[in-house]
Amino acid sequence: MDPFFPPALQAHARRMAACALPALFAAEPNRFARFSVSCHDLLLDYSKNRLTEETLALLIDWAHAAGLEQARADLFSGVRCNWTEQRAVLHPALRHLGGQAVYLDGVDVMPGVRQQLARVEQFATQFRAGEIRAADGRPLRHLVNIGIGGSHLGPEMISQALQPYGQDGPEVRFVSNMDGADFLGAVQGLQAAETLFVLASKTFSTRETLLNTEAALRWLREGGVGVSALPHHLVAVTAAPQRAQAYGITPDRIFTIWDWVGGRYSWCSAIGLSIAVRIGYGHFAQMLAGAHAMDCHFQSAPLPVNMPVVLALLGLWSRLLEGADTLAILPYDHALRRFPAYLQQCDMESNGKRIDRDGQVVGYGTGPVLWGEVGSNAQHSFFQLLHQGTHAVAIDFIACANGHTSLHDHHQELLANFLAQSEVLMRGRSPAEVEADLRADGLSAEEILRLLPHRVFPGNRPSNTVLMPCLTPFNLGMLIALYEMKIFVQGVMWRVNSFDQWGVELGKKAAQRLLQESRRLLAGEVVDLGHHDSSTQGLLRQVIAWQKDQSKN
Ligand code: F6P
């Protein structure tokens, strides 16, 4: 067993190993009521986990002993929780819209937060009203958000998820990838004279975003926008305003974020400008209110009924008991189809770490591999493995009782499938049940013998469900904050810094060097590649050879 877990919990896990979920349900008729927790309209059902009251009590004791309450208080009070970069982590302040102060080094950050939000509101409202104009007075009608990682995934996922609330708003498109196909796809069919680019980058130094910014400037010029008219088509959201100005963005078009806003937690800052344009500032403010409601719940609810805390501890429990080191996020709502991708960055960039707060290599597993897909599509791709494969996978189902379309029957069937999947994973189908089924189907004894092992479902496969009445802006804000705070809790328990991301740096530098080398090779220069391994050398030379072949044709 993993040495990370307290001995009492390990001993309990050994006892629970023989415990089957169907038996737990049979023994406890009120299991759903006991092992579910609510926050406003969000319901977390975790009864389909192999756990008991004792499990929960042991997990909560462990969280107390790990100093979770102190860590939580530190997070909300401006302590530099990002200790490798000496930064506070104050994204909860961005949705803290009452009159209260939030102090960082004795200075209230809230006036600045309110000022930027007021600017976002004004700009988004004006854009939607056709009042943001090109130099010739023509209204700008299209918005293209250029950004990557946290400056892309949240805004894109949210704009898509809340599209029913933005029917009256302009189309908003997103570009993130350095593959030029992404940029060209995003501007396809748009008129330069009517297009605004939102350049979203906390650092304004991210290669993808700068490359796409340069492409946008060229595209505007080629589309007939004169040099002096360019600033009308550009807005930046950044913590590095001077760098944005170097690209010709005027100070009045620069929205500020701060170093205490982590990129993957930045959707609720001015990085959310494109969301506010898409769905209207009122709906964006409802999202902020939802996230704030979850923050308040996280701060004040006792740990056993604290939704982010419970969800986080369940993740640790499933690691210990089931050996599950991957987490499948399965939203049964088409609007949330980008939610797994969004959460991948939020979780894996936060807790995909191996050094603890003492600077030591951890001797235990940390952040899970997070993946997922929208239901019911996922049922026809990887559910086979979930039901009958050999991997232990932690699963979060997410579902909304009501959909947004007029196709009510579709939604009913979608929900029936979500309910069926979590039940079947838990229950399985025993050899005796399968045999009876096959006999009823008229199969011979010989055929039954041959097919039976393939038709058995072992069951006893746990899952959580997050259920809500409808995917409103408020509920989506809560859902996002639920996972943000869950990730924070797990980081505390694993003793890692959830707010830095040094692991993305090395590859960026290596790419810059390889770019120079590939350009020189393409130009016919002799380049010493001896510092690369033979695989990298071989691949690079093959790329160049095929590029040269192509250019001859
Ligand atoms: O992938 C690394 C990263 O720094 C993320 O943390 C961040 O969200 C993304 O790049 C984009 O960064 P920026 O907003 O500074 O362009």
pLDDT at 99: 85
Measured in Å, residue 451 CA sits from the centre of ligand 1 at: 51
Measured in Å, residue 217 CA sits from the centre of ligand 1 at: 21
| Residue of 91, 151, 174, 506 to mutate, ligand 1, most atoms within 8 A of C-beta | 151
Ligand 1 atom having least distance to the Cα of 264: 8
Nearest CA to ligand 1 atom 5: 149
pLDDT interval class at 527 (50, 70, 90): very high
> Which tokens in the block code for residue 449?
């013998």
What pairs with residue 370 in β-bridges? 327
Q: What share of the chain is helix, strand, coil (3-state, %, to 5)?
A: 55, 15, 30
> What mean pLDDT do residues 268-277 have?
98
Measured in Å, residue 90 CA sits from the centre of ligand 1 at: 17
> Is 90 exceeded by the pLDDT of residue 553?
no
SS3 444: coil
pLDDT interval class at 2 (50, 70, 90): low
- Could you tell me which residues come within 8 angstroms of residue 526 by beta carbon, excluding any fewer than 6 positions away? none
Nearest CA to ligand 1 atom 10: 149
> Which tokens in the block code for residue 480?
């996002």
Averaged pLDDT of the chain: 97
pLDDT interval class at 549 (50, 70, 90): very high
CA distance 289 to 427: 38
pLDDT at 392: 97
For helices 473-494 and 53-65, give the axis angle rounded to 10 degrees. 70
> What mean pLDDT do residues 543-551 have?
95
- 8 Å CB contact between 275 and 473: no
Around ligand 1, the residues with Cβ closer than 6 Å are: 148-151, 201-203, 206, 209, 263-264, 349, 501, 504
pLDDT at 32: 98
- 8 Å CB contact between 213 and 148: no
> What mean pLDDT do residues 164-178 have?
95
Residues 40-67: pLDDT tens digits?
A: 999 999 999 999 999 999 999 999 999 9
| Residue of 175, 504, 509 to mutate, ligand 1, most atoms within 8 A of C-beta | 504
Residues 91-143: pLDDT tens digits?
A: 999 999 888 999 999 999 999 999 999 999 999 999 999 999 999 999 999 99
> Which tokens in the block code for residue 5?
């877990």
| Residue of 157, 346, 501 to mutate, ligand 1, most atoms within 8 A of C-beta | 501
Nearest CA to ligand 1 atom 2: 504
Ligand 1 atom having least distance to the Cα of 501: 6
Nearest CA to ligand 1 atom 6: 263
CA distance 314 to 308: 10
- 8 Å CB contact between 365 and 2: yes
pTM of the model: 0.97
DSSP letters for 12-80: HHHHHTT--HHHHHHH-TTHHHHTEEEETTEEEE-TTSS--HHHHHHHHHHHHHTTHHHHHHHHHTT--
> Is 80 exceeded by the pLDDT of residue 1?
no
Amino acid at 263: G
SS3 466: strand
Active-site residue numbers? 349, 380, 508
Ligand 1 atom having least distance to the Cα of 148: 11
> Is 70 exceeded by the pLDDT of residue 505?
yes
CA distance 122 to 126: 6
Measured in Å, residue 202 CA sits from the centre of ligand 1 at: 7
pLDDT interval class at 330 (50, 70, 90): very high
Measured in Å, residue 246 CA sits from the centre of ligand 1 at: 19
Measured in Å, residue 150 CA sits from the centre of ligand 1 at: 6
Measured in Å, residue 149 CA sits from the centre of ligand 1 at: 5
SS3 475: helix
| Residue of 198, 202, 260, 346 to mutate, ligand 1, most atoms within 8 A of C-beta | 202
Ligand 1 atom having least distance to the Cα of 263: 8
Measured in Å, residue 224 CA sits from the centre of ligand 1 at: 32
Measured in Å, residue 263 CA sits from the centre of ligand 1 at: 6
> What mean pLDDT do residues 307-320 have?
98
Nearest CA to ligand 1 atom 16: 201
Residues 398-444: pLDDT tens digits?
A: 999 999 999 999 999 999 999 999 999 999 999 999 999 999 999 99
- 8 Å CB contact between 11 and 319: no
> Is 80 exceeded by the pLDDT of residue 256?
yes
Ligand 1 atom having least distance to the Cα of 349: 6
Q: What percent of the chain has pLDDT over 90?
A: 98
SS3 104: strand
